[in-house]
Structure 1
Amino acid sequence: MRFDISALLNPKAKSLLGLDISSSAVKLVELAADGKNGYRVERYAIEVLPKDAVADGNIVNHDGAVESVKRAWKRLGTSTRNVAMALPTSAVITKKIIVPAGLREEELGILVETEANQYIPFAIEEVNLDYQVIGRSPVSADELEVLIAASKKERVEDRVAVAEAAGLKATVMDVESLASLAAFELIQRQLPDAGRNQIVALVDAGANVTTLTVLRNGQQVYSREQAFGGHQLTQEIARHFGMNLDDAEAAKRRGDLPEGYETELQVPFMEGLALEISRALQFFFTSTQFNHVDHIVLAGGCAVMPGIEDIVATRTQVNTLLANPFANMAVSDWVRSKALLADASSLMIACGLALRRFDPA
């Protein structure tokens, strides 16, 4: 059974929105072409999800997710209804294989399915399976490197159903880690010497999980997840100020919490996040041949907190910057540049998905 699970078949569309359904919010991004190899941010929107609408990457409150997507799309103010979506990385099994060059499409498909049976712990009829030819094998010109991607059908169908119920059409299903890396390519260009031969730690600090992905020349060399995220700060706010969790989350996002919030709660949380990042880097050093990183790039909802990059840089002694894939893009009149700058680090996946519009057919 084949399905476009990694933007692998024909991802190019005349119009396409990046739709990221994270654990705490719906994020929509629309990009347009702007000159040679350039992009323009046409529109974006962020809409908070109901509490526990998404748990462990699973959509558990379908109606709540649909309403949030509807509101985000309405706020976006676009006529575009085609969307690129992404599955959580944990929901997708990926494997690179080497195959002989020169196979016909149907021969390659049969070989991929045969290989997939060795790596997928489910019956093949229970999964959506796809593949992409990456290029020539690094060891032989007579062979090709192929990426296989597979996910259980219900994980794909849940997200497609949310989009359809919101009046949108899912035309591409990607993987969150691949979408994030697509956006990271834009950030890498902002580093000294475009990040060439440098070790870059991309830290995505979300609501419940912080993910460290270490890259060299655009290739992932290490990845680790830790159960630490912004929801812990929300819980502290609720406890400290006597709020329920929904009100605490809303007040945190608005930035109108009572006096003392920054010094008593926000700064200690940021210091805790910096400590978690430092520990994750130590795991990286002890389990690989690498002993340093050149840059830390902070992404995710937690990265929007003022001063977080300075606290992380002080703790780790590594140059730290906020992820902003839009830094070199033009901005349409629909977008407030100041707001986009503040939100950019939380829009990595949505941006990467929106970029699928420009992939070669």
Structure 2
Amino acid sequence: MRLFTRKVPKSASAPPDAPPVPLSGFAERNPVTAKHRRRWLGLDIGSSAVKIVELSRQGEAYRVEAFAVEPVPPGSVVAGNISDAGAVGEAIRKACERAGTKPRNVCAGIRDSAVVTKTLEMDASLSDRELEAEVTLEAERQMPFPVDEMAIDFEPMQLSSRDPSRVDVLLVACRLEHVVLRQEAAELGGVRLDIVDVESHAVQRAVAEVAPERQPVAFADIGASTSTLMIVDGESVVAREEQFAVDRLATDALATDAHATEPLLGLLTRLLRLVRLGNPTTPLDRLLLAGGIATTPGLAEGIGGHLKLAVEVADACRDMAVAEHTDAVSLGEHAPMLFTACGLALRGFDAVRT
């Protein structure tokens, strides 16, 4: 894996020998450090709360070691963008204290709407260093902001279908400030950020835990200010976001008043139509529902009846073991809020597989 880590500078509070944080949606192989990385904490920073999940792995089996949900002050995170790193850092600190963990390895997420992706075609004979230089030049030409303001990552995918002497390379970039603010908030919260991953990639990993048959699955996350709907089909993810505040809903009446769900049903219908435009013939019969309101009695059934899909509450940890000191009942109750954080924790284990 090649990472433009030089594009992500250390913050002022970072130790002198601390490595910069890569923006990555891909697996970084690093067998040398694998023995030191048996636990990973996924950090999901939302508009209403910080969510953390810490996983350990033995062989291919995962165990939930800790989790927590800690509110953030209103306005400190707006549509996934951190506006008050100090407030977010304090929430991270409280979440780790509540969970009883002092994480060594942390992966945070960044919204898809903040990320730009491009597929480039490069000479397949280029060395790693030459490929990095060529991708940098292409990023300067094709990205909508200056290269010195970007955090960049890339991954060679497969040989070009048009010319086997060339290779398709996926380029991922975002504004540097998005990564730096997450790094700053993490450090203020007493943890060091190792990886920043794209949230849809984290969801993709979590979906693979609950749908190993790899059939197309829809995923809806009803957030405090932004709602997202994705279709995960194997290695492919199509996502759409829309500003939609949960406080627009009469949440107390969702379980008893069909009219209270109408704004939500309209939102999901609209987003589902948008994500299916690219491949309207893809068979789809299942939707995972995430977010704080997902466990509302009768809500999943009502959405399923409206969308003509089998809807279930999203729980990426349901088949994982749970540490004795962790409250399994509370974990189940909070599972729909922890889905993305769980996928972010899973990303860390990709980084150490040989």
TM-score, reference length from structure 2? 0.84
1:303-356 CA-partner distances (Å, limit 9, x unpaired)? 232322101011111111121111211111122222212211211221111112
Query: Does the CA contact (< 8 Å) of 1:285 and 1:292 recur in 2?
Result: no
Whether 2:289 is the aligned partner of 1:298: answer yes
Cα pair distance change 1:287/1:176, threshold 3 Å: closer
User: SS state of the match for residue 293, structure 2?
Assistant: helix
1:155-202 CA-partner distances (Å, limit 9, x unpaired)? 11111001111111011111112112121111222xxxx143xx3221
* Alpha-carbon separation, structure 2, partners of 1:201 and 1:39: 24
1:168 aligned partner: 191
User: SS state of the match for residue 301, structure 1?
Assistant: coil
1:6 aligned partner: 24
User: SS state of the match for residue 303, structure 1?
Assistant: coil
Name which of structure 1's ranges 293-302 and 203-212 shifts more when overlaid on structure 2.
Answer: 293-302
1:242 aligned partner: none
In the TM superposition, residue 291 of structure 1 has moved relative to its aligned partner by: 7.1
Cα pair distance change 1:134/1:77, threshold 3 Å: farther
2:309 aligned partner: 318
Query: Does the CA contact (< 8 Å) of 1:133 and 1:144 recur in 2?
Result: yes
Query: Does the CA contact (< 8 Å) of 2:25 and 2:201 recur in 1?
Result: no
Query: Does the CA contact (< 8 Å) of 1:209 and 1:229 recur in 2?
Result: yes
1:252 aligned partner: none
Matches within 5 A, 1:17-56: 17-34=41-58, 36-56=59-79
* Alpha-carbon separation, structure 1, partners of 2:176 and 2:229: 28
Of 323, 335, 340, the residue aligned with 1:344 is 335
Whether 2:108 is the aligned partner of 1:85: answer yes
1:260-295 CA-partner distances (Å, limit 9, x unpaired)? x33698764434312321233334455643275221
* Alpha-carbon separation, structure 1, partners of 2:254 and 2:308: 23
* Alpha-carbon separation, structure 1, partners of 2:102 and 2:243: 38
1:108 aligned partner: 131
* Alpha-carbon separation, structure 2, partners of 1:78 and 1:339: 17
In the TM superposition, residue 136 of structure 1 has moved relative to its aligned partner by: 4.4
Of 300, 304, 309, the residue aligned with 1:309 is 300
- The letter of the residue matching 1:352 is G
- The letter of the residue matching 2:293 is C
* Alpha-carbon separation, structure 1, partners of 2:209 and 2:288: 12
Cα pair distance change 1:218/1:324, threshold 3 Å: farther
Cα pair distance change 1:330/1:143, threshold 3 Å: farther
2:229 aligned partner: 212
Query: Does the CA contact (< 8 Å) of 2:217 and 2:232 recur in 1?
Result: yes
* Alpha-carbon separation, structure 1, partners of 2:257 and 2:24: 37
Matches within 5 A, 1:239-254: none
- Number of residue-to-residue matches in the alignment: 328
* Alpha-carbon separation, structure 1, partners of 2:270 and 2:41: 36
Matches within 5 A, 1:126-275: 126-137=149-160, 142-189=165-212, 194-196=213-215, 199-220=216-237, 222-233=238-249, 261-262=252-253, 268-275=259-266
Query: Does the CA contact (< 8 Å) of 1:47 and 1:68 recur in 2?
Result: yes
Query: Does the CA contact (< 8 Å) of 1:81 and 1:167 recur in 2?
Result: no
Query: Does the CA contact (< 8 Å) of 2:254 and 2:296 recur in 1?
Result: no
In the TM superposition, residue 141 of structure 1 has moved relative to its aligned partner by: 5.0
1:108-127 CA-partner distances (Å, limit 9, x unpaired)? 10111122123211111111
Query: Does the CA contact (< 8 Å) of 1:229 and 1:302 recur in 2?
Result: no
CA RMSD of aligned residues (A): 2.5
2:121 aligned partner: 98
* Alpha-carbon separation, structure 2, partners of 1:200 and 1:138: 27
2:16 aligned partner: none
In the TM superposition, residue 76 of structure 1 has moved relative to its aligned partner by: 1.4
Unaligned runs of 5+ in 2: 1-5, 9-21
1:208-252 CA-partner distances (Å, limit 9, x unpaired)? 1221212323412x432222242323xx57xxxxxxxxxxxxxxx
In the TM superposition, residue 79 of structure 1 has moved relative to its aligned partner by: 2.9
- The letter of the residue matching 2:141 is Q
Q: Identity over the aligned pairs, expressed in percent?
A: 32
